[in-house]
Chains A and B, each alone.
Chain A
Amino acid sequence: MTATVGQQAQAAARASDVWKVYGSGEAQVVALRGVSAEFERGRFTAIMGPSGSGKSTLMHCLAGLDSVTRGTVSIGDTTVTGLGDAGLTRLRRDKVGFIFQQFNLLPTLSAKENILLPLSIAGRKPDPAWYDIVIDTVGLRDRLDHRPAQLSGGQQQRVACARALVSRPEVIFADEPTGNLDSRAGAEVLNFLRNSVREHGQTIVMVTHDPTAAAYADRVVFLADGQIVSELIEPTAETVLDTMKKLDVSAEVNG
């Protein structure tokens, strides 16, 4: 809406007036109501909101995992909306990285093989210097030959992070990455994500409902009822929590 040309060039991911409607008739659920948002390159953005607010849907639409009902989504200079399966696959392979709550590692592959999997699928060789940096940052050098089953939850999630980072995607989408971890392991992962943004210019969009996790981000976007309702720059756990409380109150008032 108000975006300038310069800002457009900087945006790693963008949603313009995105609507997402599930079902039809009486069973119709509107998950997103005209969301427009930009996620700047080299920033760590958190998307927050109460459950049912549409935060996960927004991320899925941004990542090309789900289609939008109306509006457009783009990643870098690629318009995601309207891409076929082949185009989406290519997009995911070359421009997007994922980190999931459930880690989602392949049990048959070693940690190293899991990390390099996106590159081997794409048929690309890893940049050795970058690979070393990633491995050292996640601190897994002595665990590289282990299978996922031999790693702790935190270690598995760090492998998953390394897998997302190693191909240097345009943007990494992280869906509740600390949801399955204890607070210490969670903090490790979040620190690691923040460092990859600060030190290596990676773009990360993270969905979370945990204010402490959101506090690691550079910016927090708040969603309620399928719309962006608020935004915080340089958040702290307290400011996030306050905003959340206000949202809950307004939701109760509106409801």
Chain B
Amino acid sequence: MLRATLKSLLARKLRLTLSGLAVVLGVMFVSGAFVLTDTLGRTFDAIFADAYEGVDVNVAAKPKIAMSEMEGEQQAPPFPAGTVEKVRAVPGVAEATGVVAVDGARLIGSNGKAVASFGPPQLGENWTGETDLIQLREGRGADAADEIVINKGLADAGKVKLGDRVGVLTPMEPKQEFTIVGIFGYSGGRDSIGGSNEIMFTTPVAQRLMLGEPNTFNSVSVKAADAVTPESLRDSVTTAVGDAYVVKTGKQLSEEAAEGFKEALSFFNRILLGFAAVALLVGTFLILNTFSIIVAQRTRELALMRAIGASRRQMIGSVVLEAIAVGLIASVLGLAAGIGIGALLAWAFGNLAGGLTLAGIGVPLSAVISAFAVGLIITVVAALLPALRASRIPPIAAMQDVATPDRPLTRITVAGGLVSAVGAALLFLGLSGNAGGNTLVTILGGVLFAFIGVALLTPLISRPVVSLLGAIFAWSVPGKLGRLNSGRNPRRTAITAAALMVGIALVTGVTVILDSAKSSISGLAQDTIKAELVIAGVQSGPRPPTFDPAVLEKVAAIPGVQLVDGEYGDLAVVGGERTWVAASSNDTALRQIFGVQPTAGDIDRLGPNQMLISTDTAQDRGLSVGSTVPVQLARGEPSTYTVTGIYASSQLTNGIVLPAEAARDFAIPQPVQGFIQLAAGTQVANVQPQVEALLADSPEVSVADRDAFIDQQAGQVDGLLTMIQILLALAIVIAVLGIVNTLALSVLERTRELGLLRAIGLRRAQTMRMITVEAVVISVFGALLGVVVGAGLGAAVVEALKDEGITDLVLPWTQILVALGLAAVVGVVAAVLPAVRAARINVLGAIAHD
């Protein structure tokens, strides 16, 4: 039996190759994700292993607000210089250096733009001389107040060189000019550590620009005396400085830094695994289809096996064995491809992060295990149904010339209805927010069930729809034959189309949701924001772009400007809860620019230690006018605020508003957006250039009229959308393989028929056209299903998000039409090989022999 199975497998290697390819792609993503994570993980370990070289113990003040990696860089707050002395006095300390190191020092490159970061920190520090790690490549250290030293990677990114006069943006002060007096690198000839960049000032300048307070530091790096271990020194320093400080060994810091990067990386990993899941789902359809067709085609052969004594179990075993063989081969290939893709992505990532020295490409055991587990399980599960079918073939079928009878679609339709209902129920549960903590899992499960349910219902739908679609082509004989062929095996057509449906439904669904969100929010902004000009920038890294607060006053002085408001934002701990807070430079802005209506108290004035809250916040936290709440900002001591006003929540304005003074203690005490209201009759075109001129020293932001600002903000969604679409295109590519496969198998199956058609005078070109019509009908049917299911899912999500302010349902008609058009093209492309094959059929061979 094993021999027979292997032989039949070899005989059909071509048919299995295409379906195996889908598994290869899925496995590739899974193992690629593991390889990438492993390689980059070890890379970061290596990078940070010596990032704290020469630091035995590090002392920092406890952060006021705990932050996760996704929210931004954790900032250690400043402490008085006296602490350094205190540390120095601890027995066992050989050397203690006060260090300033804060994210947010942005160099303005030779093109006049601030060098942007896509994640790694941009540190502003004090120059404390060369160390084991930091080595000057050119020039010298910073001695004077207007001198800086920068790392080689930053010099390259900003295209600046030694002796250049450059502008630097810092969190505490607007742009200042410095001379680059030194350029340094890191041990091992590195230009940057993990893509982070450093600008080093003299200590007083660093304190002023990065910490905002003279004579403070935000960490002390300590060297232990000989024979003192870092761990014991850590403990003695901890005792000396007390609870307000966090004392860690250099090794701990290295590990934490590497962990931080790895955490950010896991996001990337999840994306890859997500696509692996989609690829595998589509692949499952493909394999199921291929095995079903193969079993149907081998009916006689399988029946013969039964007739000569093979048991049912052996029949199932034979098909499953075949699946295992395909799964194994696909897993091996997928693993190999995954290692390649992982290495390629790691390389790309390394380049993007500014020349990361990669650790050797490693293949973790997890990659191997997951590759084989995924590859085998998917293939075997997909082959199980066809295997059962094979076992039900009666031995007598070997003697008869049975055309496989059309089995009724009742059972599959009922099953499809049930599965769809489960999917719909899960979706409803997830979207209505009743799924407890498992909302995402519930929704994803709902989507999965919905896909499978629709796929099961597809055979029933396919008859009328395919016949209708085919009618477009039925004007010619090949077209008519193609149409009939695509309708003759509803299950086969359905599964092939369903594979295409998955990709297109996901793209359409995501587009519906994002477009709806975009349109709703733009519409709302259009209606509510009463400012003719807006100052804002596009955020690329964890830090929002900011501008000089002095600009606000200067803008207010421009004739024709009626009202100017600068908006600040930060994370704070309010009443023991971490939350986002905002502050406006102008107390009246809330009402005048954002059209907010008061429901209690006074929202037009905000004194020190007073706060405004929205009705939602009031309800959530049980606050009313007069309530007092403890607030801890990123800097400064905790203080108590009193609620003096409550305003009606809207989608744009919600949450806690603090007075302008509070913004000074924000991590970034600079405004992120500015709103400018003009007096009636003032031309926007007159004011805009003047504001632009004032922003010359704030290159991260620009001034735009309101509509341009709204478009710009809403446009941030577009990048995300494009990325998702590109990645989901992969699922569509796999589905195309499915169409090629189904058609190729159908052509094989209909050899005799094709021969007959050629014998009675069908030309080669007509034969090819017939196959092409079949492919186009199937792919357009799949796209149609995808568009309908995707729009349905998207609409359901939008409906569920109505309370979150997504009120407009936007169906992306252009994209839907493009998808359908593309599907037709895809059909034509998919038909090429099978059509050529059909056209080349030897007429005599096809009809004269059995």
Contacts and interface: CB of A to CB of B under 8 A. Distances in A.
Interface residues of A, number: 29
Interface in B747-767: 752-753, 755-764, 766
A100 B843 CA distance: 13
B847 interface: yes
B477 A60 contact: no
A175 B848 contact: yes
Given A102-B752, A108-B488, A89 B847 contact: no
A227 B763 CA distance: 34
A89 B839 CA distance: 12
Interface string A92-108: 11100110101010111
A163 interface: yes
Contacts of B484: 106, 108-109
A92 B761 contact: yes
Nearest to A61: B844
A94 B764 CA distance: 16
B481 interface: yes
Contacts of A120: 477
Contact of B403 (A65, A92, A104, A107): A107
Contacts of B757: 106, 117, 121
A85 B764 CA distance: 8
Most buried by A among B484, B759, B760, B850: B760
B761 A89 contact: yes
Interface string B828-850: 00000000000000011001101
A117 B759 CA distance: 12
A121 B762 contact: yes
A74 interface: no
Contacts of B844: 60, 65-66
Interface in A96-151: 97-98, 100, 102, 104, 106-109, 117-118, 120-123, 149
Nearest to A153: B401
B202 interface: no
Contacts of A92: 758-761
B763 A86 contact: yes
B278 to A, nearest CB: 34
A163 B756 CA distance: 12
Contacts of A97: 760
Interface string A181-223: 0000000000000000000000000000000000000000000
B31 interface: no
Contacts of B762: 89, 93, 121
A81 interface: no
Contacts of A175: 848
A72 interface: no
Interface centre among A90, A92, A121, A175 (most CB of B within 10 A): A121
A56 interface: yes
B741 interface: no
A231 B177 CA distance: 113
Task: Give the secondary structure class of A's interface.
Answer: helix
Contacts of A108: 481, 484-485, 487-488
Nearest to A160: B756
Given A108-B488, A175-B848, A117 B752 contact: no
A231 B824 CA distance: 59
A104 B847 contact: yes
A106 B761 contact: no
B761 A100 contact: no
B761 A65 contact: no
Interface string B478-490: 0001001101100
Interface residues of B, number: 25
Interface string A48-89: 000000001000100001100000000000000000011001
Q: Which of A60, A65, A98, A163 has the most CB of B within 10 A?
A: A65
Contact of B760 (A56, A60, A66, A121): A121
A227 B487 CA distance: 48
A65 B484 CA distance: 27
Contacts of A90: 761
A102 B751 CA distance: 13
B181 to A, nearest CB: 81
A123 B475 CA distance: 11
A118 B403 contact: no
A108 B756 CA distance: 14
Contacts of B850: 102
A104 B761 contact: no
B481 A56 contact: no
Nearest to B478: A121
Interface in B723-774: 752-753, 755-764, 766
Interface in A147-178: 149, 163, 175
Given A89-B762, A89-B763, A94-B761, A100 B477 contact: no
Contacts of A93: 760-762
Nearest to B487: A108
Contacts of B752: 102, 104
A188 to B, nearest CB: 20
Contacts of A85: 764
Contact of B848 (A56, A89, A123): A56
Contacts of B477: 117, 120-121, 123
Nearest to A164: B760
A122 B756 CA distance: 14
A190 B809 CA distance: 69
A117 B760 contact: yes
A184 B755 CA distance: 29
A35 B761 CA distance: 27
Nearest to A63: B759
A163 B850 CA distance: 22
Nearest to A94: B761
Contacts of A98: 756, 759-760, 847
A56, A89, A92, A100 — most chain B CB neighbours (10 Å) = A89
A118 B760 CA distance: 6
A106 B481 contact: yes
Contacts of A60: 844, 848
Nearest to A148: B403
B146 to A, nearest CB: 84
A122 B761 contact: yes
B405 to A, nearest CB: 8
B764 A104 contact: no
A117 B766 CA distance: 13
Contacts of B488: 107-108
A161 B759 CA distance: 14
A65 B485 contact: no
Best-surrounded residue of B481, B484, B762, B848 (most CB of chain A within 10 A): B848
A113 to B, nearest CB: 9
A58 to B, nearest CB: 13
Contacts of B487: 108
Contacts of A109: 484
A179 B234 CA distance: 98
A89 B758 contact: yes
In this complex, which of B485, B759, B850 has the most chain A Cβ atoms within 10 angstroms of its Cβ? B759
B847 A100 contact: yes
A136 to B, nearest CB: 22
Contacts of B847: 65, 98, 100, 102, 104
A65 B755 CA distance: 10
B408 to A, nearest CB: 15
A97 B760 CA distance: 7
A145 B843 CA distance: 28
Contact of B761 (A56, A66, A102, A121): A121
14 contacts: A89-B761, A89-B764, A92-B758, A94-B761, A100-B847, A102-B847, A104-B752, A106-B481, A106-B757, A108-B481, A108-B484, A118-B761, A121-B477, A163-B760
Enumerate the 6 nearest inter-chain pairs by beta-carbon distance, A residue then B residue, closest first.
Answer: A93-B761, A108-B484, A65-B844, A104-B756, A118-B760, A120-B477
Given A56-B848, A66-B844, A93-B760, 14 more contacts: A60-B844, A60-B848, A65-B843, A65-B848, A89-B758, A92-B758, A98-B760, A98-B847, A102-B850, A104-B847, A108-B485, A117-B757, A117-B760, A120-B477
